[in-house]
C-alpha cells in the first residue's frame, strides 16, 4: 500500500513506563547528573550560610548579643578571638562572605559543566536509541505514521525531555534542600513567624495541582498539532515538483496557513491558561512574602525577634518562596515532558520486527511457492484471494495486472515487509516457510527494485554500492553497464562522484530507475524482483536493459512486474492478476492467443508500438509523440 493510513489513537504511557524509559535513556549520563546534583547541593548550602553570617555580624559581633550557634562554629569563632574581636575587625566576616561566594561560584560552574555534558550525552543516547528502534520497526508501522511527525518526535520532543531533565529534574534536589534548611533555620529563629510564612503554601500547591491537568492537555494538543504541521511541511517539500507542475502553490499555501493558524490558536489558548496560572501563583507568593514582612516588623518592634534574625528570616523566606514559585514552572515543564515522553514512548514501545523462534538461514536458491495466499491490509478490503503459483528455481516469472490488483503486495509479502497471518496460506522458498527464515538473511538474498526507486543524497557510486562497503568502483561500473546507466554517468562532469540530490532529484526518472536496477544487480542475490522498474524509460532503452539483464541473471530466480508486454515477453511464465485473483497463467506465447486480458493488452500495446515505430521514421500519427526519456 502506498498511502499511509492514519494510526490508531496512541495509548498514554504510564508513569512507571515514563520512569523506566527515562532511566534507560540516562545510561551513560547518570554519573554526570549525579555530579551536577552534588555541586548543586553545595551551591544550596552556600546560600544557607550567608544569612547566618549576616545574622552573627549584626546580632553578635556588632550588637553584642550572646550567640546561640552550634559548638563547632563557636570553637572556630573562639580561635579567631571571639565575637568581640570580630566586631572590631568586620573585614574578617566580610572575607567569610567572599569565601562562601567563591565556593558557590566554583560549585555553580561545576554544576553547569556537568549538567550540560550530561544533557548532551542524554540527547545523543536518546536519538541513537530512537533511530535504532525506528530502523527495526515493521514496514507496516511506517506506513501508518507520517515521516514529519516521526522526525518531530526525534527532535523537538527529545529536546523538551533534555530540557526538563537538565533544567528541572536536577533542580529538585537543590530546591528540596533549600526548602528543608530554610524551614529549619526559620523555626529555630521564630516558630510563630514560620507558621505564618507556611500558611499560604498549601493553597499554592493545591492551585498548582488543579492547573496541572489543564496545562498537560494543552501541551498535548500543541505537540500533536506541531507534528501535523511538520508532516505537512515535509510532504510539500518532498512533493514540490507535483505542487509546481499542477500550479497548486496557492491551494497548498492556503491549506498550510489554515493548519498553522489552528496550531497558533492552540498556543495562544495555552498561553492564556499559563498566564492566569503564573499570575495567580505569583500573587499568592507575594502575599506570603508580605505576611512575613508585616508580621516580622511587628515582632521585631515588640522585641520578639532581633534585627539580625529578622534580616536572616527575610533571606530564608525568600529562599523558601523562590522554590515554591519555581514549583509552578517545574509542574509546567513536567507536563510538557510527560506529553513528549508519551510521544517518544509510542515509538520506543512499538513492537519491532522479530523472527519466529528457531528461525533459520535456509537456502534461497529453491523453488518459490505461493500456496493459497490471501491477504488484507488493515482497514481495507481483501487484496489477494486464494493465490497459488510456483516459480521454479532459476526461471523468470512475469506478473501482469491492473492498478490495485495485488502485484506489489505479492512481492512485499515475499520480502516480509508485511507478515502473512497464520491461516492465510503460506509462502515457501525451497520448501521452507518464509516465516521460519531469519528476516535479515531473507532480505539479503532478495534483491528488489521498487515501483518508486529511492536514491539517497549521496554520490551515484555510493547509491549503487550501498549494499556493501567492500564493493569497488569496477563492481559499480559493471552493474551500471548492465543497467545501461554507464553512458549517462560518464557524460556527467564528475562521473560516478556526481552527487545525487535529495530523493534523486538531479536525475531523470529513467536514470533513477536504472540506478536502482544497478543497485539491485550488484548484490548478486539468488532472487531478483523488478516491480515495474522500467516504466520511466523509452522502449529502446527498455529493450537494451532487458537484454543486459538476461545476460546477467544467470541462475537467479527473477520476478518481473510490469505493464509492458514487451518487458514480460522473455519470461518463462506469466500470471495475470485481476481483483486479487489469478485470472490467467501460462507462457507469453500461450497468453497472446488466449483471448483473455493478456491478449487484449498485447493487441493494444502492439498497436501503440507500431505507431511509435512510424513516429521514429518521421511519420508519427496525429496526437502521438515518440516515447522518450526526459533527460
Assess whether 599 and 574 both reside in one domain. Answer: yes
Lowest mean pLDDT among 305-314, 440-449, 605-614: 605-614
Q: For the chain, how many structural domains are there in total?
A: 3
Assess whether 248 and 295 both reside in one domain. Answer: yes
Round to whole Å and give the CA distance between 18 and 246: 46
Mean pLDDT, all residues of the chain:
81
Residue 527: which H helix or E strand, with range?
Answer: strand 527-531
pLDDT band at 295 (very low <50, low <70, confident <90, very high): confident
Q: Which of 172, 167, 166 is nearest to 119 (CA)?
A: 166
Round to whole Å and give the CA distance between 321 and 583: 79
Assess whether 60 and 178 both reside in one domain. Answer: yes
55: domain CATH number is 1.20.1560.10
Where does a domain end: 326, 348, 370? 348
Round to whole Å and give the CA distance between 517 and 381: 32
Round to whole Å and give the CA distance between 282 and 321: 10
> Would 317 be classed as within a structural domain?
yes
The pLDDT > 70 percentage for the chain reads 88
The pLDDT value recorded for residue 95 is: 87
Enter the pTM of the model: 0.69
pLDDT band at 5 (very low <50, low <70, confident <90, very high): very low
Assess whether 285 and 414 both reside in one domain. Answer: no
> Would 624 be classed as within a structural domain?
no
Q: Which residues contact 106 (CB under 8 A, 6 or more apart)?
A: none
Where does a domain end: 515, 534, 561? 515
Mean pLDDT of the 281-310 span: 82
> Would 558 be classed as within a structural domain?
yes
Per the CB < 8 A criterion, the answer to whether 152 and 67 are in contact is: no
> Would 103 be classed as within a structural domain?
yes
Assess whether 165 and 69 both reside in one domain. Answer: yes
546: domain CATH number is 3.40.50.300
Considering only residues 12 and 547, tell me which one the structure prediction assigns the higher pLDDT: 547
Give the number of C-alpha atoms closer than 13 A to the C-alpha of residue 178, restricted to the C-beta side.
Answer: 25
The pLDDT value recorded for residue 7 is: 47
pLDDT band at 583 (very low <50, low <70, confident <90, very high): very high
Assess whether 440 and 470 both reside in one domain. Answer: no
> Would 468 be classed as within a structural domain?
yes
The pLDDT value recorded for residue 2 is: 41
Residue pLDDT, tens place only, 58-112 = 777 777 776 666 666 677 777 777 777 777 778 888 888 899 899 999 998 999 9
Residue pLDDT, tens place only, 523-576 = 888 998 988 877 666 677 667 777 776 776 667 898 998 888 888 888 899 999
User: Which three cell numbers mark 139?
Assistant: 514496514
Assess whether 122 and 159 both reside in one domain. Answer: yes
> Would 343 be classed as within a structural domain?
yes
Per the CB < 8 A criterion, the answer to whether 154 and 135 are in contact is: no
Assess whether 428 and 480 both reside in one domain. Answer: no
Q: Which of 367, 368, 469 is nearest to 415 (CA)?
A: 368
The pLDDT value recorded for residue 80 is: 76
Lowest mean pLDDT among 32-41, 211-220, 419-428: 211-220
Judge residue 466's burial from the number of C-beta atoms within 10 Å of its C-beta, 0-12 exposed, 13-18 middle, 19 or more buried: middle
User: Which three cell numbers mark 112?
Assistant: 553547569
Where does a domain end: 466, 492, 515? 515
> Would 425 be classed as within a structural domain?
yes
Mean pLDDT of the 458-473 span: 84
Assess whether 386 and 469 both reside in one domain. Answer: no
Assess whether 162 and 223 both reside in one domain. Answer: yes
Q: Which of 14, 7, 8 is nearest to 342 (CA)?
A: 14
pLDDT band at 616 (very low <50, low <70, confident <90, very high): very low
pLDDT band at 623 (very low <50, low <70, confident <90, very high): very low
Domain that holds residue 75: 15-348
Per the CB < 8 A criterion, the answer to whether 448 and 415 are in contact is: yes
CB atoms within 10 A of CB 239: 13
> Would 246 be classed as within a structural domain?
yes
Find cell 551500471 and name the residue: 480
Assess whether 302 and 437 both reside in one domain. Answer: no
Is it the case that residue 13 has pLDDT exceeding 70? no
Most confident of the ranges 102-106, 292-296, 334-338: 102-106
The pLDDT value recorded for residue 510 is: 80
The pLDDT value recorded for residue 537 is: 67
Residues in the chain: 631
Considering only residues 310 and 619, tell me which one the structure prediction assigns the higher pLDDT: 310
Round to whole Å and give the CA distance between 282 and 289: 10
Assess whether 391 and 461 both reside in one domain. Answer: no
The pLDDT > 90 percentage for the chain reads 18
Amino acid at each position: 500500500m502506498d498511502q499511509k493510513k492514519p494510526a490508531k489513537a496512541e495509548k498514554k504511557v504510564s508513569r512507571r513506563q515514563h520512569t523506566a524509559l527515562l532511566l534507560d535513556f540516562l545510561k551513560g549520563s547518570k554519573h554526570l547528573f549525579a555530579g551536577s546534583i552534588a555541586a548543586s547541593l553545595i551551591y544550596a548550602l552556600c546560600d544557607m550560610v550567608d544569612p547566618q553570617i549576616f545574622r552573627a555580624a549584626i546580632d553578635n559581633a556588632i550588637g553584642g548579643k550572646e550567640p546561640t550557634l552550634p559548638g563547632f562554629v563557636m570553637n572556630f569563632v573562639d580561635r579567631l578571638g571571639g565575637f568581640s574581636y570580630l566586631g572590631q575587625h568586620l573585614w574578617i566576616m566580610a572575607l567569610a562572605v567572599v569565601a562562601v561566594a567563591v565556593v558557590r561560584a566554583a560549585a555553580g560552574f561545576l554544576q553547569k559543566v556537568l549538567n550540560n555534558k550530561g544533557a548532551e550525552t542524554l540527547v545523543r543516547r536518546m536519538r541513537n536509541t530512537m533511530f535504532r528502534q525506528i530502523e527495526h520497526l515493521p514496514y507496516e508501522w511506517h506506513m501508518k505514521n507520517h515521516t514529519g511527525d516521526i522526525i518531530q518526535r526525534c527532535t523537538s520532543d527529545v529536546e523538551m525531555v533534555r530540557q526538563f531533565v537538565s533544567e528541572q529534574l536536577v533542580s529538585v534536589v537543590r530546591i528540596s534542600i533549600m526548602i528543608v534548611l530554610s524551614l529549619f533555620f526559620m523555626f529555630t529563629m521564630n516558630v510563630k513567624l514560620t507558621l505564618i510564612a507556611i500558611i499560604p503554601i498549601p493553597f499554592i500547591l493545591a492551585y498548582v495541582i488543579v492547573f496541572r491537568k489543564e496545562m498537560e492537555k494543552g501541551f498535548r494538543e500543541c505537540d500533536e498539532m506541531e507534528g501535523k504541521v511538520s508532516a505537512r511541511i515535509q510532504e510539500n517539500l518532498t512533493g514540490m515538483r507535483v505542487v509546481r507542475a499542477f500550479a497548486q502553490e496557492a491551494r497548498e499555501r492556503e491549506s498550510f496557513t489554515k493548519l498553522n493558524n489552528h496550531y497558533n490558536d492552540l498556543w495562544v489558548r495555552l498561553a492564556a491558561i499559563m498566564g492566569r496560572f503564573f499570575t495567580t501563583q505569583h500573587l499568592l507568593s507575594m502575599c506570603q512574602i508580605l505576611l512575613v514582612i508585616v508580621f516580622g516588623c511587628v515582632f521585631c518592634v515588640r522585641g520578639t525577634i532581633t534585627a539580625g534574625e529578622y534580616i536572616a528570616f527575610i533571606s530564608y523566606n525568600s529562599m523558601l518562596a523562590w522554590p515554591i514559585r519555581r514549583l509552578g514552572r517545574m509542574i509546567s515543564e513536567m507536563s510538557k515532558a510527560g506529553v513528549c515522553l508519551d510521544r517518544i514512548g509510542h515509538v520506543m514501545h512499538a513492537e519491532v520486527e522479530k523472527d519466529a523462534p528457531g528461525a533459520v538461514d535456509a537456502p534461497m536458491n529453491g523453488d518459490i511457492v505461493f500456496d493459497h495466499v490471501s491477504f488484507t491490509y488493515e482497514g481495507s478490503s481483501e487484496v489477494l484471494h486464494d493465490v497459488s503459483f510456483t516459480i521454479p528455481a532459476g526461471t523468470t516469472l512475469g506478473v501482469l495486472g491492473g492498478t490495485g490488483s495485488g502485484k506489489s503486495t505479492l512481492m512485499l509479502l515475499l520480502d516480509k515487509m508485511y507478515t502473512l497471518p497464520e491461516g492465510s496460506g503460506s509462502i515457501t522458498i525451497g520448501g521452507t516457510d518464509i516465516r521460519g527464515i531469519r528476516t535479515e538473511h531473507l532480505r539479503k538474498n532478495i534483491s528488489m527494485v521498487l515501483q518508486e526507486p529511492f536514491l539517497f543524497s549521496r554520490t551515484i557510486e555510493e547509491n549503487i554500492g550501498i549494499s556493501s562497503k567492500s564493493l569497488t568502483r569496477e563492481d559499480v561500473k559493471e552493474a551500471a553497464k548492465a543497467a545501461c546507466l554507464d553512458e549517462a554517468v560518464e557524460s556527467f562532469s564528475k562521473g560516478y562522484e556526481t552527487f545525487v540530490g535529495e530523493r534523486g532529484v538531479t536525475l531523470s526518472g529513467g536514470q533513477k530507475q536504472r540506478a536502482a536496477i544497478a543497485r539491485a544487480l550488484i548484490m548478486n542475490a539468488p532472487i531478483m524482483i523488478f516491480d515495474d522498474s522500467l516504466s520511466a524509460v523509452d522502449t529502446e532503452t527498455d529493450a537494451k536493459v532487458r537484454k543486459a539483464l538476461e545476460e546477467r541473471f544467470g541462475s537467479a530466480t527473477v520476478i518481473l512486474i510490469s505493464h509492458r508486454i514487451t518487458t514480460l515477453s522473455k519470461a518463462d511464465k506469466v500470471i495475470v492478476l485481476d481483483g486479487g485473483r489469478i485470472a490467467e497463467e501460462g507462457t507469453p506465447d500461450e497468453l497472446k492467443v488466449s483471448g483473455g486480458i493478456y491478449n487484449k493488452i498485447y493487441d493494444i500495446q502492439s498497436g501503440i508500438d507500431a505507431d511509435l515505430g512510424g513516429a521514429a521514421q518521421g511519420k508519427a500519427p496525429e496526437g502521438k509523440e515518440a516515447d522518450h526519456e526526459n533527460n
